[in-house]
Structure 1
């Protein structure tokens, strides 16, 4: 647009991805509340971005790059369990998604 305005014309698929991400973020907020986890604003923004990417992969079937489980051996069982609960909400994502997501929970628990 010539006046510098940004067009907000999202496709139906983009809307579905965002709606899925919003639903999952709402459920994460409930999990955080129950676990007394308070992420910083930066941690929250990074989590939102990651969950949106997960929603995209859930809707499109796009695979993750290869991830090594050993990289996550220092993540607490609690964080891994929370992450797996969130991944289970999608219903079609691999366990590697939980490994990656668990890092967000671990950092928020320890630094938030």
Structure 2
């Protein structure tokens, strides 16, 4: 995903597979209108603003999705950022 590489975030193979699966599911929900289960925003307080902004960009580009999708997607970005940091140590 170009958005991640522009930020020097490189998910490992498993993280990439999970991210791809999530995005496919998001696109399907966008097309079908299937709602997400209720999401507690408090659970995402530790997500960085950068990860949340990237997730919001993706959700906006897909369209027809609630903002809660960005909360869930941001976790994938945050985990990949941690992976990238660990590999740079």
Q: Compute the TM-score of the two structures, normalised by the length of structure 1.
A: 0.73
In structure 1, the partner of 2:71 is: 99
In structure 2, the partner of 1:10 is: none
In structure 1, the partner of 2:53 is: 81
CA distance in 2, matches of 1:94, 1:45: 23
Work out which of the residue numbers 12, 15, 34 in structure 1 matches 2:6.
Answer: 34
Larger of the two Rg values belongs to structure = 1
In structure 2, the partner of 1:56 is: 28
Instruction: Name the Cα RMSD after superposition.
Output: 0.6
Corresponding residue pairs, total: 84
State the shift of 1:48 in Å: 0.7
In structure 2, the partner of 1:11 is: none
SS of 2:61's partner is helix
Greater relative CO (CA pairs within 8 A, separation 6+): 2
Unpaired segments ≥5 residues, structure 2:
85-89
Unpaired segments ≥5 residues, structure 1:
1-28
State the shift of 1:63 in Å: 0.2
In structure 2, the partner of 1:45 is: 17
Q: Compute the TM-score of the two structures, normalised by the length of structure 2.
A: 0.92
